[in-house]
Structure 1
Amino acid sequence: MKNRFLLAFLFLTVFAFAQKTTFKIKYSEQLAVFIFLQHLSENYPDNVFKTEFEKSKYNTDKYKIVISKFDKLVLDYSCRFDEFPYGSKKTMQTEDVLKKNLIETTDLISFKNRSVGIIPSKTLIDLAESISEFTPIYNELIYNPNKEKFEKQLEEITKYSNEHHIENFFNTGLLFYNSSWDNAIPFEIAFYPLPNSKGFTAQAFCNNAISAIQTDLKSYKDLFSVMMHEIYHIIYDEQSLEVKTAIDTYFKENKSNSSNYAYQLMNEVLATDLGNGYVYEQLDGKTDTYDWYNRKYINLMAKQIYPLVKEYIEQKKPIDKNFIDNYIRLYEENFPNWINELDNIMTYRYVLSENENDFTAIGRMFRYRSRTQYDSEITDGSIEKMKETPLTKMVIISKNNPQKLKLLKSKFKELNKWQFKADKDFAYKILLDDKSQLIVINQKKETLETLIKSIK
């Protein structure tokens, strides 16, 4: 997401999309308190919410116990849509559904009624009790001191959104992505105040988006360009099985060695082009000359293909095979070495290691991640499962090295002629036929970090 800032709406405003679909934009106290509690966790980095709480009269053992109990609640279970091509559709997360229900209900009784069955009943009861306990604390420390500024900004934003017909950009995305949306389902966006801050992060899920508002934000074009960036992720996710299967086929049939990693990057690149590129340009009258995204691979590729994306938008053409082929060509011609840069390819990783500390080390070395899977066994079955994915495949061998290396060699035809010395430290990388990189780490004496840094 581009490092620009969104502004929020406190009261309900309705925008018409395609004359029928509506945006219901509002402030949700329940959601705001939930996020407040998340930010008070000991495991959460320093933030403005934690700062305000720690210097308040509520920073006592009584409330620390509530925070600790909330922090231990298991709220996030997942469900994959296995019929879709791997990685093309977002996994359903129960925490997203819980946040959706917090937004779309006005009291905790209604929230619990709607959320029964999503998580265990005891967990749901404890969650509602935590939110109830901290609602007056949140209002006293965060909401009420910022209420006046918050509401004044929202009046200005409402006028801006109406004057610039923001709803039209939703239809632009539907057409470009060849996606669909049921007009009977409103898109609900919830915002909450973020005092003493110069930044925020936005998130979208289901038919909802959430974001914070800093009290001194003035640039409304930044607000809507980033908001639409997040919404475009949902429009991409809602492509039909047929559309996603066709796009997946276009990438797999392309002969370029870069096709797989270009595909992994595409979702974020296109949302950046449409939101931070096209929407911003339409609102400001000129293209944004600053970075559109704070990660080089996404930022540079988005700017590289923006003329192609804009051409399709202006001609009202949906993504097709020609678009995909040109996208891959521009990736390969302009950034041919990206498929060898670990900072890029380890964003999408599947790691096998019998030492679970290696997973923590990998996380430290490659903090930015999009898709990640870990397995603490190196077996015939775990290797086969890894092979089924298009992710970068890293196998770290530190036990029974000769046997594990022989097993690995037998599972990949690309390793038929590979010669290795099981008693020596080494790191080996090879591009597989599925256009993903396989990285083999044989660890005897050297640290994992040293071996990974030795990869050419």
Structure 2
Amino acid sequence: MKSVFLIPLLFLTIFAFGQKPNLKIKYSEQLAVFVFIQNLSENHSENVFKTAFQKSKYNTDEYRNKISKFDKLAIDYSYPFEEFPYGSKIPMQTRDVLKKNLIETDHLIDFKLRSIGIVPIKTLNDLTELISEFTPIYNELIYDPNKEKFEKQVIEITDYANDHQIEEYFQTGLSFYHSSWDQSIPFQIAFYPLPDSDYFTAQAFCNNFVSAIQTNLKDYKDLLSVMMHEIFHIIYNEQSLELKIEIDQSFKENKSKCSNYAYQLLNELLATALGNGYVYEKLEGKLDQNDWYYHQYIDLMARKIYPLVKEYITEKKSMDKNFIDRYIKLYETNFPNWINELDNIMTYRYVISENENDFNIINQLFRYRSGAEYETQITERSIEKMQKTPLTKVIIVSKNNIEKLKLIKSKFKELTNWKFNSDQDFTYKILLSDKSQLIIINTRKKDLKTLIQSIK
């Protein structure tokens, strides 16, 4: 068996009586191999892992069939936390739990024992076998050529995190969000190398942060501020049910017509203001002059709300109704028309269409999405299900037009006086009482893309 250099775990200093979170940094070979196989999929975009594999001696029918087998493994199951307000808590994803178990175990046998019951045993055995088969390939193509640089990087990141007491920002997040964390549960941080790249990746789930880091990375403030950004999502997610309900009510009771879309932006916005704003400023000594986030609405609003966030942190206050009301006022005052801009409101969408290709067109037009649901039947039940969400509501009618349009009109009180011609192509947009936009698209001769682009 190939010997593997294990990166020493990072045990960050804790407050007396164990009050400060315990963050651990490690390299997880098992996770790295899982991600490696995942990136080899035909459905995955071009990337450094796929390029290295395609140029190698392993690019054969035998291994391509194994990659195809991996793609077909049923490892994605989900369940929502239905007692929480819609969208306020991330649904549980079995893929994330499996990755968590890969990080927290050092042997595939232990991984399999810990993961029994998450997916069917046949699926789990197949997954374990594939990870085992691709481990030497991953090491030969990716890890070993970059081993020296990567292991040096992880030691440097560990030192940097210790020197800058990065765990204190975890505590800052707990205080600001008025959230909770069991201090006996460490937060596991797993890195793996990303050669021939000029960027790093970042993802957080459960009690884990995962990042592929480019092998030429020298400055770690960006990495650690983005790491904390992702961790702040977890802290927000762990707010109590009672607090989630209070926050939800505060947004719904606010009189501003912008309150719903301000709420949709909240999670990503706060993580950006805290991680890319506050943490970066602490590490660098000044705010980042580059984009804080690649989506303009989050980037612009994060900068507007940053003084308020910093005020609350400085005064050791947790987000409350006053914070929410001031945030909504900032949104409404600075960007009043955002609730009409498709690039913004289509980030949070619920689409009903009886033509499944319509979903592909919408995904192509609006690639960035924070929350999306799709339904293939225009029925009383599907519309009622849509109405229970705060998302932008899009109904595309292409069959039995007059019948479907009459049904839609009957289900929304805001459409009582609405008049339509079912024989003509048209779009209609209206702000509903829940402050979400309803968009009705009637297609006869024109293509969907043209109709969407005509919406004002």
TM-score above 0.5: yes
The TM-score normalised by the length of structure 2 is 0.97
Instruction: Provide the C-alpha distance between the structure 2 equivalents of 1:160 and 1:93, rounded to a whole number of angstroms.
Output: 32
Deviates more, 1:231-240 or 1:356-365: 356-365
Question: C-alpha displacement at 1:11, in angstroms?
Answer: 3.1
CA offsets 1:106-137 (integer angstroms, 9 cap, x no match)? 11111111111111111111100110000000
Q: Does 1:305 pair with 2:305?
A: yes
Deviations 1:135-173 (A, max 9, x none): 000000000100111112222222221111111111100
Looking at structure 2, the residues matched to 37 and 362 of structure 1 have their Cα atoms a distance apart, in angstroms, of 29
Aligned-partner Cα distance in 1 for 2:311–2:177:
14
Residues 149/450 of structure 1: CA separation in 2 closer, same or farther (3 Å cut): same
Asked if residue 404 in structure 1 is aligned to residue 401 in structure 2, the reply is no
Bigger Cα displacement from structure 2, 283-292 vs 311-320? 283-292
Once the two structures are superposed, the pairs formed by residues 26-425 of structure 1 within 5 Å of their partners are 26-425=26-425
Q: What is the distance in 2 between the residues matched to 1:17 and 1:38? A: 36
Conserved 8 A contact 1:194-1:213: yes
Partners of 1:227 and 1:18 lie apart in 2 by: 21
Higher relative contact order (CA 8 A, sep 6+): 1
Residue 12 (1) aligns with residue 48 (2): no
Separation in structure 2 between the aligned mates of residue 75 and residue 211 of structure 1, nearest angstrom: 21
- Secondary structure at the aligned position of 2:336 is classed as coil
Question: Distance in 2 between the 1:125 and 1:160 partners?
Answer: 39
Deviation of 1:18 after TM superposition, in Å, equals 4.9
Contact residue 190 and residue 211 of structure 1 kept, 8 A? yes
Per-residue deviation at 1:56?
0.6
Counterparts of 1:152 and 1:342, CA distance in 2 = 46
> The residue matched to 1:14 in structure 2 has which SS?
coil
Three-state SS of the structure 1 residue aligned to 2:288 is coil
Separation in structure 2 between the aligned mates of residue 17 and residue 444 of structure 1, nearest angstrom: 65
Equivalent pair of 1:17/1:168 in contact (CA under 8 Å): no
- Displacement of 1:89 after TM fit? 0.2
* Structure 1 residue 224 displacement after superposition: 1.1
Q: Which amino acid aligns with 2:10?
A: T
Deviation at 1:387, TM superposition (A): 0.3
**Aligned with 1:45: secondary structure?**
coil
What is the alpha-carbon distance in structure 2 between the residues aligned to residue 127 and residue 333 of structure 1?
A: 52
Q: Percentage identity across aligned positions?
A: 70
Q: Which residue of 2 aligns with 1:428?
A: 428
Question: How far apart are the structure 1 equivalents of 2:317 and 2:14?
Answer: 19
Where 2:122 maps in the other structure, the secondary structure is helix
Q: Name the CA distance, whole Å, in 1 between partners of 2:376 and 2:44.
A: 26
Distance 2:303 2:35 in 1: 34
Structure 1 residue 210: deviation in Å? 0.4
- What do residues 237-296 of structure 1 show as CA deviations (whole Å, max 9, x unaligned)? 000001111000000000101000000001001000100000010111111111101110
Change (3 A) 1:139 1:444: same
Checking the alignment, whether the CA contact within 8 Å between 2:350 and 2:392 is kept in structure 1 is yes
- 2:201 and 2:213 in contact (8 A); partners too: no
Cα distance in 1 between the residues matched to 2:344 and 2:201: 22
Alignment check: 8 A CA contact 1:18 1:168 kept: no
1:333 partner SS: helix
- What is the match of residue 438 of structure 1? 438
C-alpha distance in 2, partners of 1:148/1:69?
33
Partner of 2:3: none
| Structure 1 contact 230–271 (Cα < 8 Å) conserved | yes
Shift of 1:24: 1.4
Which piece of structure 1 moves more, 17-26 or 401-410? 17-26
Q: TM-score, normalised by structure 1?
A: 0.97
Deviates most, 304-313 or 15-24: 15-24
Q: Is the 8 A contact 2:25 2:158 kept in 1?
A: no
Measured against aligned partners, the alpha-carbon deviations of 1:294-339 in whole angstroms (never above 9, x if no partner) come to 1100000000010000000000000011100000000011001100
Could you say what secondary structure the match of 2:257 adopts?
A: coil
**Unpaired segments ≥5 residues, structure 1:** 1-8
Q: 1:349 Cα deviation (Å)?
A: 0.4
Structure-2 residue corresponding to 1:4 = none
Is contact 1:429–1:437 with CA below 8 Å preserved after alignment? yes
Aligned equivalents of 2:86, 2:25: Cα separation in 1: 33
Distance in 1 (CA, whole Å) between partners of 2:151 and 2:333 is 49
**1:449 equivalent in structure 2:** 449
Q: Distance in 2 between matches of 1:414 and 1:343?
A: 24
User: In the alignment, is the contact (CA less than 8 A) between 1:261 and 1:339 conserved in 2?
Assistant: yes
CA distance in 1, matches of 2:428, 2:451: 10
Distance 1:194 1:10 in 2: 16
Q: CA RMSD in A?
A: 1.0
- Tell me how far apart the structure 2 counterparts of residues 114 and 387 of structure 1 sit (CA, whole Å): 40
Q: Would the aligned equivalents of 1:17 and 1:170 in 2 still touch at CA under 8 Å?
A: no
Partner secondary structure for residue 429 of structure 1? strand
Residues 203 and 211, structure 1, Cα contact 8 Å, conserved in 2: yes
Paired with 1:241 and 1:118, the residues of 2 have a C-alpha distance of 25
Q: Which amino acid aligns with 2:348?
A: Y
DSSP-derived class of the 1:355 partner: coil
Aligned equivalents of 1:196, 1:90: Cα separation in 2: 33
- Cα distance in 2 for residues equivalent to 1:389 and 1:149: 48
